[in-house]
């Protein structure tokens, strides 16, 4: 128990403040709303919307979505089960596509698709074209016998047909389960088995670093023992010869009546429009599997009603999306960020988005910057790991391109080190763009803690809970922590796009998110992250609950030590683990990736350890520093400290097939 009571120490206090420009503040979407409502300050507005969250989410639902039938009740909250917009009928595909295609945005571009091969042309897909393709594929799925409530697994790269497949499912009320195309056949298999999918949609292959690579063979392997799968629909993307199983496998272009694959240009004869299925707002829209602390992935369930509202609203408020913006969220659609901010959020707003198929550094580190320049991207959203990769590559890459179209930047997925934040602002943002550091999760469906364009920023902080949320940091007794100390991020109230359940595992849903504070404050959502608040109320995320170190009674976030290391000019990236120690409980061991051109000299190790001590204090002093070329990461870029720790301590590393770079595990040394 004593261990649990230890407080988290904040060892570093950020003092730099970055104010938004007057122009940004005055013209922002959120400021227009505040003026209309008569709010005098951001603080007052955030507090009021938290207190009146039901009223707030009702107004947002009226503003951002069209409903076939109104709700009888905004919220029914029987903790831990929430039902939003009770009794309403809607369809998120209708909100994302149909209403734009039938209205003023019919010729507006929904997606600018940039293929990875440099010799393939960029394709602009209008809302009416998207409408046509979604209708065709929706009809195709129906012809295969897919009905409302059936599950469809989608295992595809970043191509527009992936969006079509998701939207077509939503349109007919089928539940999509997108599986990241970087997962192996084994990962796909367990997700198909769990979801009992009727259809799998995939491609022959995809392009990666200039090469066409096969994908369909993984599906064949993954479906050898999945009796639920009746058909596999295959998009011809990479021109790879793949075996097609007779009676089961169908070419996508044939199913939807196109003469040739990949055809976004010609207009095939009109097809009868298909009306979107009127869905109950609580009907399931998708399942997305995410990893938890145990090995088995959890199928997170999300619903139509919530998804009609919060991805669009948060995108409009946080990233200030206006009619002429060009939005680029670099996330893969295989993750929640892709679901909410590549597909549903931007489409529901009628925005124009970039969809890029490939690697950020192919054919060189200039690729992303070139895409920004050529397409005049105005709002850009990526992950800290990508930013650190560019930092390592060097500032000469962004400097080669005209990035002046950018007006707002964002980041997600892990804590961003203040040094990376500053670099991002300077070299992507020309020292003028504000950075929206958005904290959220697969479970939340949308941003929960994030700046708005009107918020003064502190590097490395996602600032405050967004309007309409009641987020706080609790100690173990459900008391809000005092400024400077840390605890668990919790939500005291529900929100429209929160997860509704774990697919077929109600017990685990209750246990993981709601049991911790149930006896004290039932209905408190435990996010699973540690955070601190400073004296001004700014949040700093310390990482997952299982990624907090304990050194001599102090809890120290791995991320905090890594940040300190990365702030040294010779360090590109760092991963920190705790090694059991008889006296201190744990001591800190750091694995450091040096910047290109820096020699891994032994005498640099104490220099780095001292640097950490000077930034964070003696308690955070890394006892041992190792130099490595790479550290194990998930495909979404998260450093897998658990794997590093197991390898370094000589324990079994478990299943590492989902890692982006499994070979890096071998290079982690055994520590003494
Ligand atoms: O630990 C937090 C971290 O990512 C976790 C959620 O991961 P996932 O469900 O894969 O979703 C990632 C994309 C939303 C959180 O529990 N995380 C996410 N955003 C941030 C973050 N950590 C620090 N800062 C963030 N902005």
Helices 42-51 and 29-37: crossing angle in degrees, nearest 10, is 70
Nearest residue (by CA) to ligand 1, atom 22, is 414
On the question of pLDDT at 126 being above 60, the answer is: yes
Q: For 149-201, how does the pLDDT look when each residue is reduced to its tens digit (9 = 90+)? A: 999 999 999 999 999 999 999 999 999 999 989 877 877 898 999 999 999 99
- In a mutational test of the pocket of ligand 1, which residue from 182, 299, 413 has the highest number of ligand atoms less than 8 Å from its CB? 413
- In a mutational test of the pocket of ligand 1, which residue from 289, 424, 441, 548 has the highest number of ligand atoms less than 8 Å from its CB? 441
Centroid of ligand 1 to alpha carbon of 440 (angstroms): 5
For the chain, give the percent of residues with pLDDT over 70: 96
Give residue 291's pLDDT: 62
- In a mutational test of the pocket of ligand 1, which residue from 541, 642, 660 has the highest number of ligand atoms less than 8 Å from its CB? 541
Give residue 628's pLDDT: 95
Give residue 11's pLDDT: 56
Give residue 328's pLDDT: 98
User: What is the value of pTM for the model shown?
Assistant: 0.86
* Between 636 and 148, the higher pLDDT residue: 148
Give residue 281's pLDDT: 98
* Residues in contact with 196: Cβ distance below 8 Å, sequence separation at least 6, in sequence order: 151, 228
How many angstroms separate the CA atoms of 37 and 125, rounded? 37
Give residue 625's pLDDT: 97
Please, what's the b/e burial string for 194-229 (b: 16 or more CB within 10 A of its CB; e: otherwise)? bbbbbbbbbbbbbbbeeebeebbebbbebbeebebb
8 Å CB contact between 442 and 297: no
Mean pLDDT along residues 633-651: 89
Give residue 403's pLDDT: 98
On the question of pLDDT at 531 being above 60, the answer is: yes
Centroid of ligand 1 to alpha carbon of 527 (angstroms): 10
Centroid of ligand 1 to alpha carbon of 358 (angstroms): 23
Mean pLDDT along residues 16-38: 97
How many angstroms separate the CA atoms of 576 and 557, rounded? 9
Mean pLDDT, all residues of the chain: 93
Give residue 293's pLDDT: 44
Tell me the Cα Rg of the chain.
Answer: 24
Mean pLDDT along residues 249-275: 88
How many angstroms separate the CA atoms of 338 and 119, rounded? 26
Nearest residue (by CA) to ligand 1, atom 24, is 415
Helices 53-64 and 304-318: crossing angle in degrees, nearest 10, is 90
Nearest residue (by CA) to ligand 1, atom 13, is 413
Q: For 319-342, how does the pLDDT look when each residue is reduced to its tens digit (9 = 90+)? A: 999 999 999 999 999 999 999 999
Mean pLDDT along residues 571-593: 89
How many angstroms separate the CA atoms of 130 and 132, rounded? 5
Question: Is the N-terminal amide bond of 80 cis, ω within 30° of 0?
Answer: yes
Give residue 548's pLDDT: 67
Centroid of ligand 1 to alpha carbon of 617 (angstroms): 27
Centroid of ligand 1 to alpha carbon of 558 (angstroms): 15
On the question of pLDDT at 655 being above 60, the answer is: yes
């Amino acid at each position: 128990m004593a261990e649990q009571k230890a407080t988290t120490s904040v060892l570093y206090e950020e003092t730099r403040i970055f104010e938004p420009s007057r122009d940004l503040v005055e013209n922002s979407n959120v400021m227009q709303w505040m003026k209309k409502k008569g709010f005098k300050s951001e603080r007052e507005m955030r507090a009021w919307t938290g207190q009146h969250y039901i009223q707030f989410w009702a107004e947002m639902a009226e503003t951002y979505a069209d409903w076939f039938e109104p709700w009888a009740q905004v919220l029914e909250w029987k903790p831990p089960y929430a039902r939003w917009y009770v009794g309403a009928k809607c369809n998120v595909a209708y909100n994302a596509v149909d209403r734009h295609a039938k209205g003023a945005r019919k010729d507006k571009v929904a997606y600018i698709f940039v293929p990875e091969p440099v010799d393939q042309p960029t394709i602009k897909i209008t809302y009416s074209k998207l409408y046509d393709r979604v209708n065709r594929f929706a009809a195709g799925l129906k012809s295969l016998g897919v009905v409302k409530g059936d599950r469809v697994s989608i295992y595809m790269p970043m191509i527009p047909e992936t969006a079509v497949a998701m939207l077509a499912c939503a349109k007919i009320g089928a539940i999509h389960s997108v599986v990241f195309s970087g997962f192996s056949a084994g990962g796909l298999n367990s997700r198909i088995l769990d979801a009992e999918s009727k259809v799998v949609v995939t491609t022959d292959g995809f392009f990666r670093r200039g090469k066409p690579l096969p994908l369909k063979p993984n599906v064949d392997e993954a479906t050898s023992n999945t009796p639920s799968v009746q058909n596999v629909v295959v998009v011809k993307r990479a021109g790879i010869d793949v075996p097609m199983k007779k009676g089961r496998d169908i070419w996508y272009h044939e199913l939807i009546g196109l003469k040739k694959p990949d055809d976004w240009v010609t207009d095939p004869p009109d097809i009868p429009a298909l009306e979107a299925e009127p869905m109950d707002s609580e009907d399931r829209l998708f399942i997305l599997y995410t990893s938890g602390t145990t090995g088995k992935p959890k199928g997170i369930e999300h619903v139509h009603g919530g998804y009609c509202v919060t991805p669009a609203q948060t995108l409009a408020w946080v990233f200030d999306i206006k009619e002429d913006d060009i939005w680029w969220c670099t996330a893969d659609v295989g993750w929640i960020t892709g679901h909410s901010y590549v597909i549903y959020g931007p489409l529901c707003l009628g925005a124009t988005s970039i969809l890029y198929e490939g690697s950020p550094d192919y054919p060189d580190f200039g690729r992303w910057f070139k895409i920004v320049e050529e397409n005049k991207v105005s709002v850009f959203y990526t992950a800290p790991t990508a930013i650190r990769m560019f930092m390592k590559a060097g500032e000469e890459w962004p400097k080669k391109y005209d990035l002046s179209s950018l007006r707002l930047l964002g980041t997600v997925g892990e804590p961003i080190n203040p040094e990376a934040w500053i670099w991002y602002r300077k070299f992507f943002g020309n020292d003028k763009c504000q950075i929206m550091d958005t904290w959220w999760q697969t479970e939340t469906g949308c941003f929960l803690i994030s700046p708005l364009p009107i918020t003064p920023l502190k590097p490395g902080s996602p600032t405050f809970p967004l309007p309409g949320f009641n987020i706080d940091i609790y100690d173990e007794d459900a008391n809000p922590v005092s400024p400077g100390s840390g605890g668990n991020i919790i939500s005291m109230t529900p929100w429209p796009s929160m997860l509704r359940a774990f697919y077929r595992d109600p017990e685990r849903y209750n246990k993981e998110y709601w049991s911790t504070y149930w006896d004290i404050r039932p209905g408190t959502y435990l996010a699973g992250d540690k955070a601190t608040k400073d004296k001004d109320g700014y949040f700093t995320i310390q990482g997952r609950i299982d990624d907090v170190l304990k050194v001599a009674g102090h809890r120290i976030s791995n991320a905090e030590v890594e940040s300190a290391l990365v702030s040294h000019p010779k360090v590109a990236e760092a991963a920190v683990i705790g090694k059991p120690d008889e006296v201190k409980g744990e001591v800190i061991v750091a694995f450091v990736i040096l910047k290109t051109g820096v020699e891994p000299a032994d005498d640099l190790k104490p220099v780095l350890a001292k640097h950490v001590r000077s930034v964070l204090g003696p308690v955070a002093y890394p006892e041992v520093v190792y130099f490595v070329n790479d550290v194990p990461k998930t495909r979404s870029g998260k450093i897998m400290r658990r794997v590093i720790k197991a390898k370094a301590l000589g324990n079994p590393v478990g299943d590492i097939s989902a890692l982006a770079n499994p070979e890096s595990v071998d290079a982690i040394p055994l520590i003494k």
